Amino acid sequence: MHSSLFEQLKAWLAGDIGADYGIAQLQAAAGVASFSSQPPAVHFNPLGGVHGGYTATLFDAALGLAVYSQACAEEVYVTASLQVNYLRPIGLAALPLRTEARVQQREGRNVAVQATLHDAQGLLCANASGVFTCLLHTASGATQSVGLPAR
């Protein structure tokens, strides 16, 4: 079931933010999301590698899209935690990149999600896990915080 927020998130990623991050080939189904990316030069560090913040942003976007791909209209999710493991440097030879995310578990208001980032040769460059927390979405359209999960 797709919410209007899911459609808005897809449009956002296909628009300016997607262009800023070189995101293309966006796909999403129930609990799964993927896209390719070609980072613009601004996302490379002085050593010639892709900046870690770029990778984290890709993961946050993919994880969120996977969560929203199965959200109901009244559900609003925010990132509660994001853990990124950088496994190998990403340079020009690694491009383009492929990010894939999948919902693992839903427990109460929390959704656990995992993602991978592969290079053009199919090598795993990084992986991530995250928890997204559902906020209450009232009939009036207002969003109320219900608190983030305890750590």
Check residue 14 and give its pLDDT: 80
Give the chain's domain count. Answer: 1
Rounded Cα distance between 136 and 11, Å, is 23
| Residue 61 resides in a domain | yes
**Tens place of pLDDT for every residue, the chain, 151 residues?**
455 767 777 787 788 888 889 999 989 889 999 999 999 999 999 999 999 999 999 999 999 999 998 888 778 899 999 999 999 999 998 999 999 999 999 999 999 999 999 999 999 999 999 999 998 665 565 555 555 444 4
| Residue 27 resides in a domain | yes
| Residue 117 resides in a domain | yes
Residue 123 and residue 139 in contact, taking contact as beta carbons nearer than 8 Å: no
pTM of this structure: 0.85
3-state SS assignment for residue 3: coil
Domain residues for the domain of 11 are 4-144
